Amino acid sequence: MTDIGTAPTASNRVVISGRYEVFLDQPLGSGGLARVYRGRDLRARREVAIKTLRDEYRTDPESRRRFRQEARMMAFASHQGLVTIYDLLEQSSDSWIVMELVPGQNLKQVVEREGPIAPPTVVRILEQVAAALDHLHERAIVHLDIKPQNLIRTADGSIKIIDFGLAQSMAPRQDTIGGSTFGTAAYLSPEQGRGEAVDQRTDVYALGCVAHELLTGRPPFDIPEGPDQKRLLIEDHLESEPVPPSRLRPDLELPGWVDDVVGRALEKLPRHRYASVQDFAQAARNGLERAANPEGNDTVALPGQRRSEPRIRWNRPAREHPPAVPPDHFPDEQVEAGPTLARRLWNRGGKVARHTRSLRGTIWRLAMIFAIGNLILGSVILVREGPESLVERFLSVVPGTMTDVSVDGLNLRAGPGAGNSVITILAFGDDVEVTGLSESDEQGRWWPVTVEQDGARYEGWVWAGGLQPNEWTGRMSFMQGIVEGGQDIRDGIGDGVDTVTGLWPF
């Protein structure tokens, strides 16, 4: 393998590993860590792109480790929206990644040449990019450098993601090189700027920056070039609210849903953004369809998650069409709701029960049998194990409350299921906040939680068996009163209880 420490010139042409021809006078791009050149696979007889570390990083062990990690990580990803990695070549003096050469222009060049892109086309781009990123996220990989320069539009209009130099596994902390994190400041998420944990929502933020630029021709924060540009851009991402697209470019007459959909992707706190890139793309698609069919709003469901803190509030004039966000996205606003699911089921299917005497009688008998069975079961549990156990069985874990870890060494995972990567390990007695509804798989039930360790805040999923059922106080005070009364009765029975329970084979 030939070392190419000199600057590229017109005569620079080398062959590495006896197979790959590299044209050093035909650079395709350059980033913070590496350069990419046009090349040719002499054996397969195809054009390729060949990437190598910049001169200043070739002898740095950590930089070379990250370079190898990029190739090995992407070797397990295969998606039409991701550039394909063909080969990794290493020698003591340098390293090379051989990958697919994607013909076309990056979206930065497209916007600079053609101007802002129309919302329908932007939605199609978001859907393609989201599908490719979701493929990575399913493998617990985050890209961390989504920007227009890394999105190539091919001749047929399809989009491919390139450059995985910053990609890493989802983890409690970012990988660094020399103690520094890398990324493009104009598209850097707040958590990246603070050096905090990153996950799929970090890519959601960067994709929101891309959507903002495609729609308006400018990224959310635009600082003139200068020695303080990067620092000022990071400060804006951390502290400032972006100008909504419709206000930034009133001449484009962007539809109202654009501000709301892009605004949620650009939330400062990860938990306030879309849970996934697919949710972001779906929200954009729904907004586009609602604008095209304003009278059919009840047929368009928008992805979203209920939360207690307000999102970005972009004040703008009233629009012709309602914003493409779910009603529960605005907890402090009054939204006129249609019939609930229970009411619709009652109106449609309940008519049969209301007008069929024999069926109504059967339903009442089954309900009575169920109630009596539960009363007997509750009485048995009450006598044998006491009122506390009865309440714990009913309450279990309650979303939106604090509870404790009941086992030692409980894994906090990146998703529901034992197949997801471990973020951190929780100890017996650790306090966790249950943030949403549980999900189940063949291995059991999993709860979404947040926990603080050593001053850092982590979000993930834990096995339900490792959590202590919530204490029966506060919102369940009425139940506590019942339990305390039952405890007094049980104490009054005294020793007779043991005699009775000994007769029951439970």
How far is residue 31's CA from residue 63's CA, in Å, rounded to a whole number?
A: 13
User: Among residues 70, 100, 130, which one ends one of the domains?
Assistant: 100
Residue pLDDT, tens place only, 149-200: 999 999 999 999 988 888 888 866 665 554 455 678 899 999 988 888 899 9
291 and 152 fall within a common domain: yes
CATH of the domain at 280: 1.10.510.10
Spatial CA neighbour of 205 closest among 193, 220, 187, 218: 187
Answer yes or no: is 4 within a domain: no
163 and 299 fall within a common domain: yes
SS3 letters across 166-206? CCEECECCCCCECCECCCCHHHCCHHHHHCCCECHHHHHHH
Give the H/E segment covering residue 151: strand 151-153
Answer yes or no: is 414 within a domain: yes
Find the catalytic residue in 145, 163, 259, 279. Answer: 145
409 and 367 fall within a common domain: no
289 and 156 fall within a common domain: yes
pTM above 0.75, yes or no: no
274 and 173 fall within a common domain: yes
What region, left, alpha or beta, does residue 351 occupy, with left being phi > 0 and alpha being psi -120 to 50 degrees? alpha
220 and 268 fall within a common domain: yes
402 and 389 fall within a common domain: no
32 and 144 fall within a common domain: no
Residue 412's domain spans which residues?
A: 397-466
Answer yes or no: is 487 within a domain: yes
Answer yes or no: is 334 within a domain: no
145 is catalytic: yes
Could you give the angle at the alpha carbon of 129 between the alpha carbons of 125 and 133, nearest 5°?
A: 165
Residue pLDDT, tens place only, 256-314: 999 999 999 999 999 999 999 999 999 999 999 988 877 655 444 445 443 434 445 45
410 and 368 fall within a common domain: no
Could you give the angle at the alpha carbon of 235 between the alpha carbons of 229 and 238, nearest 5°?
A: 145
Give Cα 97 to chain centroid, integer Å. Answer: 29
459 and 494 fall within a common domain: no
State the total domains in the chain. Answer: 4
Answer yes or no: is 192 within a domain: yes
211 and 287 fall within a common domain: yes
Answer yes or no: is 205 within a domain: yes
378 and 401 fall within a common domain: no
Range of weakest confidence among 315-329, 334-348, 466-480: 315-329
Give the H/E segment covering residue 391: helix 387-395
Answer yes or no: is 336 within a domain: no
Amino acid at 326: P
Contact present, 83 and 132 (Cβ < 8 Å): no
